[in-house]
Amino acid sequence: MAEDKPLTVVTCTAPVNIAVVKYWGKRDEELILPINSSLSVTLHQDQLKTTTTATISRDFTEDRLWLNGKEDDIGHPRLQSCLREIRRLARKRRSGGENGGDSSSSDPLALSLAYKVHIASENNFPTAAGLASSAAGYACLVYTLAKLYGLEGDLSEVARQGSGSACRSMFGGFVQWIMGESSDGKDSVAQQVVPETHWPELRILILVVSAEKKHVSSTAGMQTSVKTSPLLKHRAKAVVPERMAQMIQHIQCRDFEAFGELTMKDSNQFHATCLDTFPPIFYLNDISKQVVALVHRFNTHYGKTKVAYTFDAGPNAVLFMLDDTVDEFVEVVKRSFPPGNNGGQFLKGLPVDAARTSEELLSAVVRDPTPGAICYLLHTKPGPGPMLVEDASCHLLGTDGLPRSSCS
Ligand code: DP6
């Protein structure tokens, strides 16, 4: 192989997000345009992130992709859409506009657009755990390619074409995806509502439910819902617009009770829509339902919303609470779902202190403990958007453009 070093190697990281006003249903499958706006919280990358390295070289003979160390098919249509769109924007920028300008072949950057790209991507969490890896994955891909080709500005519109929810992972904190009206999707973009620093007490606890079985993908599930669910149409038209405004207000006011209640109601309506789909789709399992009941008993005991749940297209529960509730609620979860044989590994992420829970609380909320039903708990908080990694030792691709062992 030639001694030449690749022109550039860029590594970036991007976060996972969890929606509190759910996106479910497209009005345009190809451009990934939604039938309603949505709103999410970006999770901290210390706990959940995708890392992507991209590099170009005139020595490369084809575009190539490695996912979690294994070569994968780069021909996936959504991946190709992102790649094509980034290259188009880069070409446009270099030529000084859509139609004009001088794309001189003496410009080494213009030349590099003809080069093939190698991309490697990996998650710091098990992909199989069902923790929304495609949103972080596409956000990271688009952000990294943009840095590689020197693009600036909002690229949520490009990330959206990889996976709808990915556009919200292009920002940190609290993020809305405005559905837009235009048929070309130019106005269907994500926007930060407030940064993660706005609500420092907010915590997130992910309950990873065991016995993960294959379920209907979001993409396929929402297609069937759009075709068959009258509730989905009603939700998009009459419910979500008002909820978006309310949710933004609750976040701005840091009103946990109102935020939590609306989060639970919107998750419930999303799953009701799945049940209204024909044939029906069930993402919640018995353990998910036990978590729902536990949260409600806990809140009833205190006479207010201290914990809120939300579920995506799978059985894992994502719980919101304030930092002063975490220790006690974790103890309640441990009593309700006693750890299986991974006792030492049951708690991951931010530290949790031992809590002194009253017998009164335990007897009011813990019912029929189910050992081993929760695989582990991940404690995290809202976090920042995608980031450039300056440390060259973290590149996932070596100077030969092939995977190398990763940075821990
Ligand atoms: C339930 O973004 O995964 O998580 O656009 O087809 O890739 P595609 O779907 P995807 O759907 C996410 C659905 C959801 C709700 C949400 O994140 O808003």
Residues 83-103: what's their mean pLDDT? Answer: 76
C-alpha separations of 402 from 49, 61, 75, 396 in Å: 22, 13, 18, 8
Query: Nearest 5°: phi and psi at 123?
Result: -105, 150
| Residues 147 and 172: beta-carbon distance below 8 Å | no
Q: Is the dihedral of CA 41, 224, 271, 209 positive or negative?
A: negative
pLDDT at residue 102 greater than cutoff 70: no
**Total of domains in the chain:** 1
Ligand 1 atom showing the smallest separation from residue 162 Cα: 7
Task: Return the pLDDT at 214.
Answer: 64
The residues, any chain, with a CB within 8 Å of residue 233's CB and separated by 6 or more, are none
Mutation probe of ligand 1 site: the residue of 38, 218, 222, 235 with most atoms within 8 A of C-beta: 218
Task: Return the pLDDT at 133.
Answer: 74
Residue 147 token pair? 């840095």
Chain-wide mean pLDDT for the chain? 92
Ligand 1 atom showing the smallest separation from residue 40 Cα: 18
Q: Which of 98-112, 116-130, 239-253, 368-382 has the lowest mean pLDDT?
A: 98-112
Q: Kindly report the CA angle at 150 between 180 and 103, in degrees rounded to 5?
A: 100
Residues 56-79: what's their mean pLDDT? Answer: 95
Q: Looking at per-residue confidence, does 138 or 106 come out higher?
A: 138
Q: Is the dihedral of CA 397, 398, 402, 406 positive or negative?
A: negative
Q: What's the CA-to-centroid distance between 279 and ligand 1, angstroms?
A: 19
Report if residue 145 sits inside a domain.
yes
Give the model confidence (pLDDT) of 105-118 as tens digits.
445 565 678 899 99
Report if residue 408 sits inside a domain.
yes
The residues, any chain, with a CB within 8 Å of residue 259's CB and separated by 6 or more, are 20, 247, 250, 251, 308, 320
Report if residue 21 sits inside a domain.
yes
Pairing of strands 64-67, 116-123: parallel
Report if residue 85 sits inside a domain.
yes
The verdict on the CB of residue 9 being under 6 Å from ligand 1 is: no
The structure's pTM equals 0.94
Report if residue 148 sits inside a domain.
yes
Give the model confidence (pLDDT) of 148-176 as tens digits.
999 999 999 999 999 999 999 999 999 99
Mutation probe of ligand 1 site: the residue of 134, 165, 229, 281 with most atoms within 8 A of C-beta: 165
Q: What's the CA-to-centroid distance between 156 and ligand 1, angstroms?
A: 15
Ligand 1 atom showing the smallest separation from residue 217 Cα: 3
pLDDT bucket at 99, cuts 50 / 70 / 90: very low
pLDDT bucket at 343, cuts 50 / 70 / 90: low
Residues 235-258: what's their mean pLDDT? Answer: 98
Cα 386 to Cα 153: distance, rounded to the nearest angstrom: 13
Report if residue 353 sits inside a domain.
no
Report if residue 294 sits inside a domain.
no
The verdict on the CB of residue 32 being under 6 Å from ligand 1 is: yes
Domain residues for the domain of 64 are 1-195+389-408
Give the model confidence (pLDDT) of 289-331 as tens digits.
999 999 999 999 999 999 999 999 999 999 999 999 999 999 9
DSSP 315: S
| Residues 263 and 233: beta-carbon distance below 8 Å | no
Residue 57: enclosing H or E segment and its boundaries?
Answer: strand 49-57
Task: Return the pLDDT at 131.
Answer: 76
Ligand 1 atom showing the smallest separation from residue 270 Cα: 1
Task: Return the pLDDT at 4.
Answer: 45
Task: Return the pLDDT at 128.
Answer: 60
Residues 387-402: what's their mean pLDDT? Answer: 94
Report if residue 400 sits inside a domain.
yes
The verdict on the CB of residue 142 being under 6 Å from ligand 1 is: no
CATH number at residue 74: 3.30.230.10
Beta pairing partners, 382: 43
pLDDT at residue 382 greater than cutoff 60: yes
Q: What's the CA-to-centroid distance between 129 and ligand 1, angstroms?
A: 16
The verdict on the CB of residue 225 being under 6 Å from ligand 1 is: no
Q: Which of 2-11, 21-30, 376-385 has the lowest mean pLDDT?
A: 2-11
Nearest protein CA to atom 3 of ligand 1, as residue: 218
Cα 179 to Cα 37: distance, rounded to the nearest angstrom: 5
pLDDT at residue 403 greater than cutoff 90: yes
For residue 246, which of 254, 258, 257, 238 has the smallest C-alpha distance?
258
Task: Return the pLDDT at 345.
Answer: 86
Beta pairing partners, 206: 318, 378
pLDDT bucket at 212, cuts 50 / 70 / 90: low
